[in-house]
Structure 1
Amino acid sequence: CWEVRKRNSSEWCRFIQSNPDCRLEGGFLDYLQGVFCVFPPRLLPLAVTLYALWLLYLFIILGVTAEKFFCPNLSAISTNLKLSHNVAVLSLTSPLHGVTFLAFGNGAPDVFSAVVAFSDPRTAGLAIGAVFGAGVFVTTVVAGGIALVKPFTAASRPFLRDVIFYMVAVFLTFMVLYFGRITLGEALGYLGLYIFYVSTVVLCTWIHRWQRREGLVPPSPWEPEMPTDAEEQESLGTNSGDYSEEYRPLLPSRETSLRILTTALSPLDYRKWRRKPWYWRLFKVFKVPVELLLLLTVPVVDPDKDDLNWKRPLNCLHILTSPLLCVLTLKSGTYGLYQIQGVFPVWGLVTLVGFVLAVIIFITTSNEEPPKYHCVFAFLGFLASAMWINAAATELVNILRTLGIIFQLSNTVLGLTLLAWGNSIGDTFSDLTMARQGYPRMAFSACFGGIIFNILVGVGLGCLLQMTSSQVVKLEPDSLLVWILAGALGLSLVFSFVSVPAQCFQLGKAYGVCLILYYLAFLCLALLTEFRVIRLSAV
């Protein structure tokens, strides 16, 4: 499909429509058809600009969905199943690293993007570039930024454990790329290695706590306890509904269902709006449409609130909208539009069943007290938010492939730049904010724990799902840039593995500057190789 730009502009549309390689897999919009057939050639810069803005908005959708809907429901599921936070991979308060709620939540967009990209052999390079590119970015720029913001002493054994596991994962991926294929056993091996990693983290945590109780190890450098949402709101003088005392009514009153619905569907807090700077307000304006759609379709269960975030009219509406969203986004609506016996569509049946259940729940519950089965809404919200992330990731992969065809760029360079940077925004801001608040060890641990999840689950699950159509998945590197990327990631891990113990695990600004300079040098080498300014001998 790359040949389209080499042809006369009058032939672009005919070439796109007749070439099977130009057909995008999944997604709701045909971006290639739009840029080469809908827009005239002279308006190509306008089309590219619109696509770039839509790309940025897709990253916003991914971030908002993961942060405000996917992660809270995952936490609620863990609480309802009475799982240990370490076992559920959701610990925020423990400084024992790696496998954290922060890493798991931020990894959701990365994993879904990788799974979608691996589903089509033509975009597998995009997934490889994103997984390796995000790894280099997080372990250099983000980790280095943490050391610059707040010099600290790293936890020795957890750091060495995480780096060793990550080096093993990178080596396995390097071997898969060398042989150019991945089998069923190897894909399951990725997932098995992640399970082994989680088990190791849990075991190390138990051993460390036992040693501290027995007084066998000295106390670790102190970090302030991470406040919970309830404690943070209490310190701000607000209750779980974010109403301060002066706004609370003197006498208790029952709100009507209509008022509960309108309040729950409002993505704006007007008191918070007045306190925030202009740039926060501008960004919030862009997020409001996304948040409103998510509030309409994704229920959120909050165990920290007294009412568990039970909003009877809205939750009853979710019984209708969430299943409808799932069937209309699964395989880009293929199953939802399927007609039963050629007469009745699946989405109509889902709507009918959802409406009946919503009416029953509305009649048998009250506004004041959540029902005993309210935990089911956490599973429904988890599924609905996952479908949102999957749909956004599909559009993201398709639009990146389109931009690659327009600018004649390889999937690998798009993955290690745009996709890796976009998916790492959450890690960057979350980890640096956590470091500034006095939790640099926890933030540094998230850098390695999160990317281990991304590479093992992203590659393993992505290839496993692709094997539904073939027994072996081909992962042949499309250029020398793949080897440069893999080598750069491996070298950065070796550098940290050697330099951090050499500094007695005391990480300061010199370490942070070295990591950031390393990433800039790698990025220059990668871009010069992509544009063939630097020609390296073939491997």
Structure 2
Amino acid sequence: MANPSFNIFENFNKSNQSQPHFQRHEILTKFVHIDGCSLVDYMPISMRCHFVKTEPDCLKFLRFLNYMEFMYCYVQQTGSRIVDWIYLSVLLVYMFYLFQVLGQLMGKFFCPGINYIARTFRMSQSFAGATILGIANGVAGLFLAFADLSADTVGLYTGSNSFALFSQTIVAGIVLLIRPFHVYRPLHVRDTVFLLTLTTYIEYIMNDQLVDLYESFPLFLFYAAFLVTVGIDAVLIRKLSKDIRRKLKLLEEGVGDEELRMQLEELQNEGVMEILVKDSGSVLDIERTRSAFEGRSPNDNLFRQFLESINPIDRASWETSGSCYRFMQAVVSPFVLLFLLLCPRVDYNLPNHGWSKLLNMFTILSGPFFIITVSRMITWKFFGVSIYVYWLIPAIVVIVLVYFFSRTDTPPVYHIGFACFSVIVSLILVRIVALEVLYVIYTVGTASQMSPTLINVTLQAWEGGIGSLIANVILAYRGYPRMSFAACYGGPLFSMPLVFGVRLSYKAITSQNRIAVVHQGPLGITIYCHLFTLLLFSMFGILFARDQGRKSIGVYRILIYPCFLLMALLEEFEVIHGHNTDHTDQRVQMD
């Protein structure tokens, strides 16, 4: 195979030096280091199988099934392009199936659990979205930082900012398209200003490619400041609501002040969230669904309740739906059954709020056991003892306590603990399924010879964005758009300060003179410019629309993302000049 030709640029700084100073080109470095798997299509067919088996970039998303190996070791060995496209079509259908599985996991476990936690702690939609849902959406970004603390910061900067851009464009745009709503101005301006300040500060400290501890340490305080501000706003909104109600009572009956009534209605939307009946939008009486029957003993109907709880198909939806929906329910039912055996359901819409005594006791053991196994932690040992033992002993203690201190006919007072457990387990399961989806996308993109830049930029964003996209869309569709919209800000505001703070501080501590050398990558400033522009113009757009989150604003947000991808491709093929490099046109061709 012939050696590819690369370009090396000369940077002449005539004010400070008389000789040319050669510096590496970021796009060349990124291509060699990250996009190794994209070289497979430039190799002879006989070499491709061995390459995809040994090249680390071809295996970075591998979890269960090796789609890449099957493509290049079996399918392409037939020499027929028709067989290639048939296999890629099958992968696309399989990817759609995995998305359906993710939808079931989010809709039945994660989203109801988030709602239960928010309602129990009397949170508003915006408060819950900015905190618990935002943290859940941003947890995936933490894996990016803690996987390899000594790694280069190019992937960190590109991945984190791509996730923020994906959340603000695709996720927030779809939420506005599904459920337009009135935006409470102070909270929207607060979230936008915080995210603008965070991204601008990170860009500022990394712009000179040198970061010390004095610059990285404030990142740890950023999210704490955001949480304090959110808490203060929640308290002020409740006090203001009480004050407006008091003023309205002082007015004559039937007269009222229209302006005060409008203010009160606006503030009530930011009050304690109401639980809505599934698929109807009306307010649910949560006390009515708290107990499905009256048991004569604490363990009455124990096994019957267990068998009814592990039914993977919703009977009410099955009876009222068409053949297409029934087919999809039957197809995904094996995965739903698996999730029911691993993760407790906590849902106000279900009888007993989803409480099933025997099933919940079983999930205390099965959920963590499954996660430890599939996460390849089965060989982990501490002081010569397997990690299973460290979980087994406290799990058995909890199971015994649940058995003696709970009933089958009503959820216990500590049901909130199972709600938190459900959210954590379902979040990990979402991560496992989402990584499988990413490997399918990576295989299809590589085999169809998509641009390496397009593949990497999208996958870095989708790695943490697929789960948040499905969760936020489901919540918006069920009547919680304010929670979903606030989470689009809360996710990046949670993950970015931590991932950059940990990585930059570690590199500074382990570097000479306590100063870390950092890089943004060839697309770093391009992503930042799109994100900054989007946040600024979207904020003013909603303000000029009289605080109405309209569908047109959602369309604008969504269109920003393909514009960004188009600019990334134009920069890669040197149709336009990238933001990150400023070289002269004097080039030395190197063979």
TM-score, normalized by length of structure 1?
0.74
Partner residue, 1:326: 371
Tell me the CA shift for residue 370 of structure 1: 5.4
**Equivalent residue letter for 2:487:** G
Does residue 7 (structure 1) correspond to residue 48 (structure 2)? The answer is: no
Matched, 1:111 2:138: yes
Q: CA deviation at 1:153?
A: 5.2
Aligned twin of 1:228: 275
Aligned-partner Cα distance in 1 for 2:559–2:67: 36
Aligned to 1:135: 168
* Aligned match of 1:479: 522
- 1:263 to partner: Cα distance: 0.2
**Counterpart position of 1:489:** 531
**Alignment partner of 1:451 is 2:488:** yes
Structure 2: which amino acid aligns with 1:285? A
User: How far apart, CA to CA, are the structure 2 residues paired with 1:182 and 1:60?
Assistant: 43
SS at match of 1:132: helix
CA distance in 2, matches of 1:357, 1:508: 48
The residue identity in structure 2 corresponding to 1:384 is V
Does the 8 Å contact 2:276/2:284 carry over to 1? no
The residue correspondences of 1:102-501 to structure 2 (distance < 5 A) are 104-105=132-133, 108=136, 110-118=137-145, 119=147, 124=156, 125-140=158-173, 142-143=175-176, 145=177, 150=180, 154-175=183-204, 178-179=207-208, 189-190=218-219, 192-215=221-244, 218-220=260-262, 222=265, 227-229=274-276, 240=289, 256-301=301-346, 307=352, 309-329=354-374, 332-333=375-376, 335-338=377-380, 346-347=387-388, 358=399, 362=403, 367-368=408-409, 376-406=417-447, 407=449, 408-410=451-453, 411-415=456-460, 420=465, 423-428=468-473, 430-431=475-476, 434=479, 443=481, 446-447=484-485, 449-463=486-500, 476-480=519-523, 482-501=524-543
Moved more, 153-162 or 400-409: 400-409
Partner SS, residue 228 of structure 1: coil
Deviations along 1:260-291, one digit per CA (max 9) or x if unpaired, are 11100012222321212444434433442232
Offset of 1:450 from its aligned partner?
Answer: 1.4
**Distance in 1 between residues matched to 2:572 and 2:322, nearest whole Å:** 40
Counterpart residue type for residue 174 of structure 1: E
C-alpha distance in structure 2 between counterparts of 1:374 and 1:506, whole Å: 37
Does the C-alpha gap of structure 1 residues 304 and 183 become closer, same or farther in structure 2, counting only changes over 3 Å? farther
Q: Is the 8 A contact 2:111 2:475 kept in 1?
A: no
Letter in 2 for 1:45: W
User: Does 2:78 correspond to 1:45?
Assistant: no
For residues 387 and 298 of structure 2, the distance between their equivalents in structure 1, rounded to whole angstroms, comes to 42
Aligned to 2:71: 35
Specify the SS of the correspondent of 1:240: coil
Residues 103 and 446 in structure 1, CA contact (< 8 A), matched pair in contact too: no
Deviates more, 1:452-461 or 1:18-27: 18-27
User: Matches of 2:105 and 2:197 in 1, distance apart?
Assistant: 31
Task: Report what 2:16 is aligned to.
Answer: none
Q: CA deviation at 1:474?
A: 7.9
- Cα pair 2:130 2:491 within 8 Å, conserved: no
1:298, 1:322 within 8 Å by CA — same for their partners in 2?
Answer: yes
Indicate how the Cα distance of structure 1 residues 476 and 413 shifts in structure 2: closer, same or farther if over 3 A, else same: farther
Q: Which amino acid aligns with 2:539?
A: F
Task: For residue 7 of structure 1, report the CA deviation from its aligned partner.
Answer: 1.0
Aligned 8 A contact 2:61 2:436 in 1:
no
Native 8 Å contact 2:169 2:557 kept in 1: no
- For the pair 1:100 / 2:136, whether they are aligned, the reply is no
Q: Partner amino acid for 1:457?
A: F
| CA deviations over 1:280-325 (Å, ceiling 9, x no partner) | 4344334422321111011234578784543222123223312312
Q: Partners of 2:46 and 2:383 in 1: how far apart? A: 44
Query: What is the CA distance between 1:491 and its match in structure 2?
Result: 1.0
| Amino acid corresponding to residue 191 of structure 2 in structure 1 | D
Checking the alignment, whether the CA contact within 8 Å between 2:223 and 2:494 is kept in structure 1 is yes
Shift in alpha-carbon separation, 1:116–1:184, aligned structure 2, 3 A: farther
Per the TM alignment, residue 213 of structure 1 is displaced from its structure 2 partner at its CA by: 3.4
Bigger-Rg structure (1/2): 2
Output the CA distance in 2 between the equivalents of 1:360 and 1:322. 18
Post-superposition offset of 1:8: 0.9
In 2, Cα distance between the equivalents of 1:45 and 1:510? 37
- Shift in Å at residue 4 of structure 1? 2.2
- Displacement after TM superposition at 1:389 (Å): 2.9
SS of 1:261's equivalent in the other structure is helix
Q: Structure 2: where are the runs of 5+ without partners?
A: 1-35, 248-258, 511-515, 583-591
SS at match of 1:100: helix
Amino acid at match of 1:454: G
Distance 1:214 1:349, change over 3 A: closer
| Alpha-carbon contact 1:298-1:385 (below 8 Å) kept | yes
Distance (whole Å) between structure 2 residues aligned to residue 160 and residue 136 of structure 1 = 17
Q: Distance in 1 between matches of 2:55 and 2:230?
A: 50
Structure 1 unpaired stretches of 5+: 86-90, 435-441
CA distance in 1, matches of 2:203, 2:410: 54
Native 8 Å contact 1:55 1:396 kept in 2: yes
Q: Which amino acid aligns with 1:392?
A: V
Q: 1:169 to 1:489 in 2, by over 3 A?
A: same
CA distance in 2, matches of 1:141, 1:361: 41
TM-score w.r.t. length of structure 2: 0.68
Q: Distance in 2 between matches of 1:429 and 1:323?
A: 26
Q: Distance in 2 between matches of 1:141 and 1:386?
A: 21
The answer to which of 350-359 and 270-279 deviates more is 350-359
Task: Output the aligned Cα RMSD.
Answer: 4.6
| Distance in 2 between residues matched to 1:396 and 1:463, nearest whole Å | 26
2:110 corresponds to 1:70: yes
Of stretches 254-263 and 209-218 in structure 1, the one that deviates more from structure 2 is 209-218
- Give the % identical residues: 20
Q: CA separation in 1, counterparts of 2:360 and 2:199?
A: 43
Q: Give the C-alpha shift of residue 17 in structure 1.
A: 3.6
Is the 1:67–1:105 Cα contact (8 Å) retained in structure 2?
no
User: In structure 1, the residue corresponding to 2:141 is in which secondary structure?
Assistant: helix
Question: CA separation in 2, counterparts of 1:413 and 1:362?
Answer: 47
Quick one: distance in 2 between partners of 1:432 and 1:312?
30
CA contact (8 A) 1:264 1:314 kept: yes
